[in-house]
Amino acid sequence: RALTIGLIPGDGIGKEVIPAGRRVLEALPASLGLKFDFVDLNAGWETFEKTGVALPEETVQTLQSCNGGLFGAVSSPTTAVKGYSSPIVALRKRLALYANVRPVKTVATAKKPIDMVIVRENTEDLYVKEEKTYDTPEGKVAEAIKRISEKASTNIAAMAGEIALRRQKIRASGAPSIHKGPLVTVTHKSNVLSQTDGLFRTASKAALADPRFSSVKVEEQIVDSMVYKLFRQPEAYDVIVAPNLYGDILSDGAAALVGSLGLVPSANVGKTFALGEPCHGSAPDIQGQGISNPIATIRSAALMLEFLDEEEAAAKIYAAVDANLEEGKLVSPDLGGTAKTEEVLQDILRRL
């Protein structure tokens, strides 16, 4: 099978980790029968500075003819700059990548193992970015719309249910697990936002009440309590589904639990396309030193493959990364090690 993959390194360490992701894909064993074509694409702050556009139309259009992509990270200006707006937020909407899937796990031998996936709605909520500002006698007032639809909530909850079932299948097929059965935790703040988050809650629960999810246990948590529980008993959670903004916050929180954002992958998933994206940012402070952790991107490449139905190839990559981390010898500075990006990459490549 031939797969065309768009590569958008973006800014900062995006330029160091995306090439690592590419090399892992290229190094997959021939026996898997995968052939990759890579297309280099632009987006981000540097692109904006050069061209006045953060997300060139060509990038969007080329991606539309790709099977998948890898997005690095982009730098944002610290103050609002006219005409600039986040290319990843725009891409998610333009390509209808309705789910942001963020698995957060420790190695299986960790003292306190964690193994959860945060499934974040990726197209609406406050991310519709419909804002306005007006003057009043008491000063400026700004308003933003938080929009929640039954349709998007239903779709994301169904995705969470599918992922819970898939994880259970993998668990059942051997690997020892901290989870007994599939569990989806629906997160919201419907005690304050009875209509918007109330709709997310009822639509999610209705979607998960479908007979195909009959083996999935469904619970709910108010978002503030969810953050509390995430830190008090993270081992209890399997799949967490949340509206866009809560998902953004929860996934950074979960990343903190496994030691570094440099380990946490994500995939922006649409009906027929998946865009892998490390959860970390462009980290200008460490850019150019060759010490960025490539694992979040390498795992994002695997996650992308999973959603392109190449589960065997994905499993190979996960296993190589896990073996690197289990051994714990060649690890990057964010994890307390001294290995360079290239050394971590080489160690993972030889384990493929």
User: Please, which residue, 23 or 229, has the CB nearer to its own copies?
Assistant: 229
Please give the Cα distance from 143 to 158 (Å, whole number): 31
- Which distant-in-sequence residues (6+ apart) come within 8 Å of 249 by Cβ? 223, 227
Task: Determine, following the binding rule CB under 6 A, whether residue 248 of this chain makes contact with ligand IPM.
Answer: yes
How many of the other CB atoms lie within 10 Å of CB of 102? 25
DSSP state of 258: T
Interface residue with its own copies, options 32, 192, 209, 319 (CB under 8 A): 192
Task: Report the site for its own copies in 153-182 (rule: CB under 8 A).
Answer: 154
Binding characters for its own copies, 252-291, by CB under 8 A (x = yes): xx-xxx---x-------------------x----------
- Tell me, residue by residue from 137 to 176, as one string, x for binding to ligand IPM by CB under 6 A and - for no binding: ----------------------------------------
Distance separating alpha carbons of residues 219 and 181, to the nearest angstrom: 13
Q: What is the distance between the alpha carbons of residues 43 and 274, in angstroms, rounded to a whole number?
A: 17
Footprint of ligand IPM on residues 73-112 (CB under 6 A)?
86, 88-89
From residue 64, give the alpha-carbon distance in Å to each of 124, 177, 273, 307: 21, 37, 8, 16
Task: Report how far Cα 42 is from the mean position of its chain's Cα atoms.
Answer: 20
CA distance 193 to 31: 52
What are phi and psi for residue 177, nearest 5 degrees?
-140, 155
337 binds, among ligand IPM, its own copies, none (CB under 5 to 8 A by kind): none
User: Of ligand IPM, its own copies, none, which one does residue 50 interact with (CB within 5 to 8 Å by kind)?
Assistant: none
Task: Give the residue with the Cβ less far from its own copies, 42 or 251.
Answer: 251
Q: Which residues bind its own copies (CB under 8 A)?
A: 76, 80, 85-86, 89, 126-127, 129, 131-133, 136, 138-151, 154, 189-196, 198-199, 203, 223-225, 227-232, 245, 248-249, 251-253, 255-257, 261, 281
